[in-house]
Homo-oligomer: A and B are copies of this chain.
Amino acid sequence: MVDNEYYSQAVHGPYESFNIGDLVLEEGGTIRNCQIAYASFGTLSAAKDNAILVPTWFSGTSKIMEQAYIGPGRALDPEKYFIVVANQIGNGLSTSPHNTAWPLGMANFPKVRIGDDVVAQQRLLKGRFGIETLALVVGGSMGAQQTYEWAVRFPDAVKRAAPIAGTAKNTPHDFLYAQSLCDAITSDPAWAGGWYREPHAVREGLRRHSRLWAVMGFSTEFYKQELWRPFGFSSVDDLMLNFLDATFLPMDPNDLLCMAWKWQRGDVSRHTGGDLAKALARITAKTVVMPISTDMFFPPADCAAEQRLIPKGELKVIDSLWGHIALFGLDAGYIEQVDRALKQLLDTPA
């Protein structure tokens, strides 16, 4: 356990926590008294038929999802829906390597899979709110991985699904990219095999990690057109320092590694002996697959190939020059397109 002020109500609140009990993991470990941190918005209808689940992406928490995607008049409108944002295991708010007591946390934290998160989220929704069906599951990146896992694992529980900028089965290329992020962190001597004692000791490794987001996270056109300029950054260096480093350097290295391991191995075909077509054919949800046009992590072609295997799947490529990081919602055009697509999906009877 290491004390890191970044993972606090002051920075990410308000959020609550729910104890889902012991979670036996797919890889064989057990998280005892697993806590899922969540934030909820709006009111659950008496029929419990207006619930929306939003899982989180790599490094993200319920806060960024709230800020970028939720609000009155938006597709995810708390005046119409009851929206639960569930923080993934390892993200620093839910049970994570950095907040698990010695000797079970940090480098000893067990390996977690996307499927474990989805099982944990089902327990949260049922145990805390009595929710058994979801009007919509929507998430970006690792949130899309969880969305796909929900739709394949619990098809009856998911009426609609909207995986944004993510895949049902991670590609070998994206595995390698995530590995480069891990290597950037673990190669820092201050990482010390995961047993650093000071929360921000691994700053050089985290900085290299953040700079790999700079390479793969935006598009060449984003930089050429200096689309960062309206946001008050004075140069690319300033963007690196005050956006990417500022985003990633406060985080816990073991937490990031826990999530990256999960991200690398996201694969719904684990339910069908490796047959992806068979797994995606299980989905009964009306599904809108939304890649981002310039995404280098999950290029539209990779997402379209999966969409074609989903019975009620539809493809909506979101045009943005912000690459994968469009997810953060700073590109107004991106937000407008996503909101329109989600509203349309929510208005479709399911």
What does the 1/0 interface line of A315-343 toward B look like (CB < 8 Å)? 00000000000000000000000000000
In chain A, positions 162-193 with a C-beta closer than 8 Å to chain B are 171-177, 179-180, 183-184, 187-189
Given that A187-B204, A187-B208, A189-B189 are known contacts, is A220 also in contact with B173, CB under 8 Å in the complex?
yes
What does the 1/0 interface line of A182-218 toward B look like (CB < 8 Å)? 0110011100000000000000100010011011101
| A233 CB to nearest chain B CB (Å) | 12
Give bound CA distance, A210 to B176, whole Å: 12
B224 close to A177 (CB less than 8 A): no
| A8 CB to nearest chain B CB (Å) | 30
Does A302 touch B at the CB level, under 8 Å? yes
Determine which of B176, B211, B218 lies in contact with A215 in the assembled complex, contact meaning CB atoms within 8 Å.
B176
Return the chain B residue nearest A226 by Cβ. Answer: B172
Residues on B with C-beta less than 8 A from A223 are 171-173, 176
Residues on B with C-beta less than 8 A from A101 are none
B208 close to A176 (CB less than 8 A): no
| A132 CB to nearest chain B CB (Å) | 37
Return the chain B residue nearest A167 by Cβ. Answer: B220
| A176 CB to nearest chain B CB (Å) | 5
Return the chain B residue nearest A214 by Cβ. Answer: B176
Given that A183-B208, A187-B208, A296-B296 are known contacts, is A302 also in contact with B177, CB under 8 Å in the complex?
no
Return the chain B residue nearest A305 by Cβ. Answer: B224
- Size category of the A interface is 20 to 34
Does A301 touch B at the CB level, under 8 Å? yes
Does A219 touch B at the CB level, under 8 Å? yes
Return the chain B residue nearest A178 by Cβ. Answer: B215
Determine which of B172, B188, B211, B299 lies in contact with A236 in the assembled complex, contact meaning CB atoms within 8 Å.
B172
Does A275 touch B at the CB level, under 8 Å? no
B180 close to A220 (CB less than 8 A): no
Give bound CA distance, A218 to B188, whole Å: 27
Residues on B with C-beta less than 8 A from A26 are none
Does A16 touch B at the CB level, under 8 Å? no
Does A79 touch B at the CB level, under 8 Å? no
Determine which of B172, B175, B176, B212 lies in contact with A180 in the assembled complex, contact meaning CB atoms within 8 Å.
B212
Chain B CB within 10 Å, residue with most, of A173, A179, A211, A301 = A173
Does A221 touch B at the CB level, under 8 Å? yes
Determine which of B188, B204, B208, B299 lies in contact with A220 in the assembled complex, contact meaning CB atoms within 8 Å.
B299
Give bound CA distance, A58 to B186, whole Å: 27
